[in-house]
Amino acid sequence: MLATALRTTCTVDTHEILSGVRVLTDAHEDGGYEWMEKIEEEGWLVCGAWGVDGWDLGQWPYVMVAVTKTADKAGPLFGMATYCEGDVKTTFYRTQAAHWAAITAEAFSTWKSRSDGPPNMPETADQLAPEYCQPYSLNLC
């Protein structure tokens, strides 16, 4: 079964309507690792770490964050999908900064709930030090 479907959606940061965008869909038939393999065939990549020191992003294989970069006539599009035990939510951003902020918010949520993130965690994600608000590897995002 395909891991994607064509849908109409809206960019989170600029509120542009996007028609016929390939989004990741729910995946209850298989586990997280199988989902990860399927989405790679569709041009998505699961990020396992976030921040310059590579802190865990998600809780594999139950919770994962995937990214993609594509474009339309208006310019680049940055996609993010969150996978939580088969439930998948896909969002798109026009700017890389908004994309990274969304991923940072997901990372912060993981770090706070598991108490094993970076030291001196602030109360909110927007208070994180800049080194925790970027990809572990710039090749990923």
The distance from CA 80 to its chain's CA centroid, rounded to whole angstroms, is: 3
Is 50 part of any domain?
A: yes
Is 134 part of any domain?
A: no
DSSP 96: H
- Label residue 25 exposed, middle or buried (CB < 10 Å: 0-12, 13-18, 19+): middle
Q: Is the pTM of this model over 0.75?
A: yes
**What does the pLDDT read at residue 2?**
66
For residue 114 the two structure tokens come to 């598991």
Is 43 part of any domain?
A: yes
Is 102 part of any domain?
A: yes
Is 132 part of any domain?
A: no
Cα-Cα-Cα-Cα dihedral sign, residues 62, 7, 72, 18: negative
Looking at the structure of the chain, the number of domains it has is 1
Domain housing 97: 4-117
Per-residue pLDDT 10s for the chain (141 aa) are 568 899 999 999 999 999 999 999 999 888 999 999 999 999 999 999 999 999 999 999 999 999 999 999 999 999 999 999 999 999 999 999 999 999 999 999 999 888 778 888 999 999 999 999 999 986 555
